[in-house]
Amino acid sequence: MGMNRLTWHHTGGGYVPNAIDLAAYHGVIDGDGGFVQGLHQIEANAPGQAMRPGAYAAHTARLNTGNIGISVASMAGGKWADPRASRAFPKPEQIDALMNNSARLCVAYGIAPDPRFTLTHAEVEPTLGVKQRQKWDFDYPVGFVKTNTRDPVAIGNELRQELAYRIKHMANRPAPIAPATAPRPILRQGSHGNDVRLLQAKLGLEADGIFGPETRAAVAAYQKRTNLLPDGVVGTMTWDNLLGADQ
Ligand SMILES: [Zn+2]
């Protein structure tokens, strides 16, 4: 516990997080909108930790203590002058997943959707006065953001407005929202095995362990009902909902 800040990043890489990304952030949103757990536990950045190099997620210069770092696997080959030219521009579903996971973390750690506590990396220097090295994640519009300037604070404000909405929505859910203790694999059409059986049982389907079109449709319908992105892919958010529902 004791985390008091959440900072949003892009990795500067492709849609699949690599080992360096996973060491640098507590979680990375992959190109499918899945939440990939980072190498370091969030608590590795908690106040009071020794913060030895390599033992925590070093995602924001001089501001890692108490700070959760979540990154969007994106922006490979991106140039500041023309972000859209990146071969891995952040997808809307990634920003959607960024917001859902941020809402989950804000609720779990009691972090407010306030510019001092939930902010993009690009906002750290202008808002908190902590010098960064020309970080521009995100000073360009991503996902649902309508602001069409390179003003990171205006973009951050739109992200926080959406975050606040999602936190409010989550606070009204009957089931407690807590990070799953054992991460479950991301399941999608073509997956098979015991995790698919568990999923099917939770959805009231015949548990044959094969994730086909019928399972996909049932997942998408469930996601729609529970206000998740209805992409038919079972990532952390969907697992947390499914497994939390019977607590
Ligand atoms: Zn960053």
Ordered by where they begin, the domains of the chain are 5-170 (3.40.80.10), 194-246 (no CATH)
Residue 142 CA, ligand 1 centroid: distance in Å: 15
Give Cα separations from 72 to 35, 147, 245 (angstroms): 9, 19, 28
CA of 197 to the centre of ligand 1 (A): 38
- 1 versus 57: the higher-pLDDT residue is 57
Q: How far is the CA of 241 from the centre of ligand 1 (A)?
A: 29
Mean pLDDT throughout 45-57? 93
Please tell me the distance between residue 132's alpha carbon and the centre of ligand 1 in angstroms. Answer: 9
DSSP 96: H
Least confident of 2-11, 69-78, 108-117, 178-187: 178-187
Q: Ligand 1 centroid vs 200 CA: distance in angstroms?
A: 38
Cα of 69 to ligand 1 centre, how many Å?
8
Find the 138 Cα to ligand 1 centroid distance in Å: 8
- 39: which 2 tokens? 């190498």
Q: Are the beta carbons of 242 and 194 closer than 8 angstroms?
A: no
Matching residue, tokens 């924001």: 60
Name the pLDDT band for 180 (thresholds 50, 70, 90): very low
Strands, DSSP E only, in the chain? Answer: 5-10, 27-29, 35-37, 67-72, 118-120
Reference 123, options 158, 91, 98, 163; nearest CA is: 158
Contact 68, 6 (CB under 8 A): yes
> What is the tens place of the pLDDT at every residue in 83-100?
999 999 999 999 999 999
With CA atoms as reference, report the closest residue to 76 among 148, 17, 135: 17
> How far apart (Å, rounded) are the C-alpha atoms in residues 10 and 122?
10
pLDDT score of 247: 36
